[in-house]
Structure 1
Amino acid sequence: MNPFESNAALSMQGSFSTPNTHKYSVILPTYNERKNLPVIIWLLNRVFTENELSWEIIVVDDNSPDGTQEVALQLAKVYGEDKIVLKPRAGKLGLGTAYIHGLNFVTGDFVIIMDADFSHHPKFIPQFIRLQQAHNLDIVTGTRYRSTASPPLSGTQPGGVHGWDLKRKIVSRGANFLADTVLNPGVSDLTGSFRLYKVAVLRHIITLTVSRGYVFQMEMMVRARALGYTVGEVPITFVDRLFGESKLGADEIVQYMKGVWSLFTGV
């Protein structure tokens, strides 16, 4: 019997019905996010506090010239240096290595990875946690391309994308369709970067992952499936960044195509 067939009729709002003793570490890679950082941290603090969860945020900044690090230090004074932990790097070294760097400093038993630009709203985190707890999942990933949680979870809302033009939507859909057809990973949104991991699982998979750019998220999920880890999906609403510029360009798309082929032949 598939363990995911049982229906978890759990509420999506308010604090958890039973005390949650776990600690959740958010790894937040940043580059020129001075305007976004105070608001995303305020939202994260509100979600964790309202749900009575233990938390910390590891800010991995790649030497932003806009003063992001100075803002992070000020936020640490407001929320506590045990809550906001700045761990900068010398420059832009890639998303994958940002998570590897951040993992060296987490003290939680679960890790949440997400963007700092409001593309990922913290309000979905309780849904991630409830789905993980209901089925003891190793990974929960946000999806823009499903309307219900998988495995089932009551109260979820349809996923979607807001703020993209038609070209960007076609590229994203096409990239996921290609990867799904070639790799058959069992998840609907391989390029998403809003996920919850058991910390030991993340440490294991990340040591095996070769990609460090746009392909990183896809490779992580493909390897997780190949290793037999359990993965669930929660529909999320993805909103294009409010401040700053998108970091996706032609080079990343080419890397993605090469990455699909590499994973097809090597995993």
Structure 2
Amino acid sequence: MVIKKLSIIIPVYNEAETIHLILNKIKNVILLDNILKEIIIVDDCSEDNTYEKIKSYLELNSDADIYYFKHEKNKGKGAALHTGISKAKGDYLIIQDADLEYDPAEYNRLLKPVIDGFADVVYGSRFMGSQPHRVLFFWHTIGNKFLTFLTNVFSNLNLTDMETCYKLFKTSLIQGIKLKEQRFGFEPEVTLKISRIPRIRIYEVGISYYGRTYEEGKKISWKDGFRAIYCILKYGVFK
């Protein structure tokens, strides 16, 4: 499979402390087969100085292929992803959080099954392989595994990490799916809908995970977990 360009979708909300760091990490990544990078930042109406940090970065890196979009009101991570996906021009796209929990140096891990001709979609799993994984919240892990299990029940997949940020899609494929969820319900919705595409080839690869505490800026809460269950039932049962 020949991939000329990879679109990197970054949903942003109050990430002034890390946005320039993650952009530097992305900039330094050399992709397999010299694949070009297109970075799409979607600012979901941040209330800190995220915009100023991005503006400064763009001025210092005018040669980079970076596009900035801003929501006029806060809509949620899913809504930011909808905007980013609609703007993508790469052959494939990957989702990248604006914090430092996921390492862009691992993009090539996800790209390899596609380049080798095996995959249309690749998920980066935090629960397989031997990559570094920060030890944090027991109940979050149980919750993630339960949500993955429930998604697998309705999709007939055998994923190990449905809630992962790192999801790599063929752009034309994901742009052809009507997505509705505005917040963290994006993860089960897109997984269930992608699983129903005839002859779709979904792979997983192990990735590292440098998780954050709530004091360090983590945003997902138990309420999002209940919403995810609702979304799994909504898109799994009623389709």
TM-score, length basis structure 1:
0.80
Name the counterpart of 2:231.
Answer: 259
CA contact (8 A) 2:42 2:70 kept: yes
TM-score, length basis structure 2:
0.89
Q: Aligned match of 1:104 in 81, 86, 93?
A: 86
Residue 111 of structure 2 is aligned to residue 129 of structure 1: yes
Distance 2:139 2:223 in 1: 16
Name the counterpart of 1:193.
Answer: 165
Distance 1:257 1:43 in 2: 34
Residues 188-238 of structure 1, C-alpha deviations (whole Å, 9 max, x = no match): 211112111111011012x1x332222211121111111122111111112
Unaligned runs of 5+ in 1: 1-17, 148-157
CA contact (8 A) 1:48 1:55 kept: no
CA drift at 1:130 = 1.2
SS at match of 1:241: coil
After superposing the two structures, state which structure 1 stretch, 107-116 or 51-60, moved more: 51-60
After superposing the two structures, state which structure 1 stretch, 100-109 or 36-45, moved more: 100-109
SS at match of 2:30: helix
CA drift at 1:135 = 2.3
Distance 1:100 1:159 in 2: 30
Unaligned runs of 5+ in 2: none
Aligned-pair identity in percent equals: 22
Distance 2:82 2:204 in 1: 23
Name the counterpart of 1:27.
Answer: 9
Residues 144-175 of structure 1, C-alpha deviations (whole Å, 9 max, x = no match): 1223xxxxxxxxxx356414222222222222
CA contact (8 A) 2:155 2:195 kept: no
Q: How does 1:108-257 map to 2 (within 5 A)?
A: 108-147=90-129, 158=130, 161-205=133-177, 207=178, 209-228=179-198, 229-241=200-212, 244-257=216-229
Supply the RMSD in Å over aligned alpha carbons.
2.3
Distance 1:36 1:171 in 2: 26
What amino acid does structure 1 have at the position aligned with 2:169?
A: Y
Q: 1:80 to 1:226 in 2, by over 3 A?
A: same
Q: 1:173 to 1:266 in 2, by over 3 A?
A: same
* Structure 1 stretches of 4+ moved >4 Å: none
Structure with larger Rg: 1
SS at match of 1:190: coil
